Amino acid sequence: MKKLVWLGMAVALAGATIAPAHAATSAANFKTLKGSVYFMMPNTTTARFPEHDAPEFVKAMKKLAPGIKVVVVNANNSGATQIQQAETAIAKGALALVWVAADPATAGGFVAKAVAAKIPVIDYEHGVSNAGIAYHVQNSPVKVGEGIGKTAAAAIAAMPGTIRVARVYGNKGDDYTTNEKIGEDKYLQPLIDSGKIKVVCEDYTANWQPSVAQISSEQCLTKTQNGVDVFVAMNDGTAMAAVAAIQGQKLIDKIKVYGGQDAGLDALKYLLRGWIQDDVYKPFSSEATAAAQLALAAITKTAPPKGLITGKFADGKPIALLDVVDLTAKNIGRVVADGLYKKSDLCTSDVVDVTGYCNS
Confidence of residue 21 (pLDDT cuts 50, 70, 90): very low
Confidence of residue 29 (pLDDT cuts 50, 70, 90): confident
Q: Is 161 left (phi over 0), alpha (psi -120 to 50) or beta?
A: left
pLDDT value at 11 more than 50: no
Please give the pLDDT value at position 173.
87
pLDDT value at 20 more than 50: no
Query: SS3 for the chain, per residue?
Result: CCCCCCCCCCCCCCCCCCCCCCCCCCHHHHHHCCEEEEEEECCCCCCHHHHHHHHHHHHHHHHHCCCEEEEEEECCCCHHHHHHHHHHHHHCCCCEEEECCCCHHHHHHHHHHHHHCCCCEEEECCCCCCCCCCEEEEECHHHHHHHHHHHHHHHHHCCCCCEEEEEECCCCCCHHHHHHHHHHHHHHHHHHHHCCEEEEEEECCHHHCHHHHHHHHHHHHHHCCCCCCEEECCCHHHHHHHHHHHHHCCCCCCCEEECEECCCHHHHHHHHHCCCCCEEECCHHHHHHHHHHHHHHHHHCCCCCCCCCCEECCCCCEEEEECCEEECCCCCCHHHHCCCCCHHHHCCCCCCCCCCHHHC
Q: Is 250 left (phi over 0), alpha (psi -120 to 50) or beta?
A: left
Could you read off the pLDDT of 308-350 as tens digits, one per residue?
Answer: 999 999 999 999 999 999 999 999 999 999 999 999 999 999 9
pLDDT value at 9 more than 60: no
Confidence of residue 27 (pLDDT cuts 50, 70, 90): low
Angle between helices 54-64 and 284-300 (to 10 degrees): 50
Q: What's the rounded mean pLDDT across residues 285-308?
A: 96
Q: What is the CA radius of gyration of the chain?
A: 21
For the chain, list the domains and their CATH numbers. Answer: 27-139+283-322 (3.40.50.2300), 141-281+325-359 (3.40.50.2300)
Could you read off the pLDDT of 112-169 as tens digits, one per residue?
Answer: 999 999 999 999 999 999 999 999 999 999 999 999 999 999 999 999 999 999 999 9
- How far apart CA 91 and CA 79 sit, in angstroms, is 19
Please give the pLDDT value at position 45.
86
Please, are residues 32 and 19 in contact by the beta-carbon 8 Å criterion? yes
Handedness of CA 116, 21, 310, 56 (dihedral sign): negative
| Between residues 8 and 312, the one the model is more confident about | 312
Please give the pLDDT value at position 28.
53
In the predicted model, what is the mean pLDDT of the chain? 92
Could you read off the pLDDT of 82-109 as tens digits, one per residue?
Answer: 999 999 999 999 999 999 999 988 999 9
Could you read off the pLDDT of 174-203 as tens digits, one per residue?
Answer: 889 999 999 999 999 999 999 999 999 999
Please, are residues 45 and 77 in contact by the beta-carbon 8 Å criterion? yes
- How far apart CA 44 and CA 207 sit, in angstroms, is 12
Could you read off the pLDDT of 37-92 as tens digits, one per residue?
Answer: 999 999 998 889 999 999 999 999 999 999 999 999 999 999 999 999 999 999 99
Could you read off the pLDDT of 155-179 as tens digits, one per residue?
Answer: 999 999 999 999 999 999 888 999 9
User: For the range 192-200, what are the long-range contacts, defined as Cβ-Cβ under 8 Å and sequence gap of 24 or more?
Assistant: 195/162, 196/156, 196/157, 196/162, 196/163, 197/156, 197/162, 197/163, 197/165, 198/162, 198/163, 198/164, 198/165, 199/165, 199/166, 199/167, 200/164, 200/165, 200/166, 200/224, 200/227, 200/228
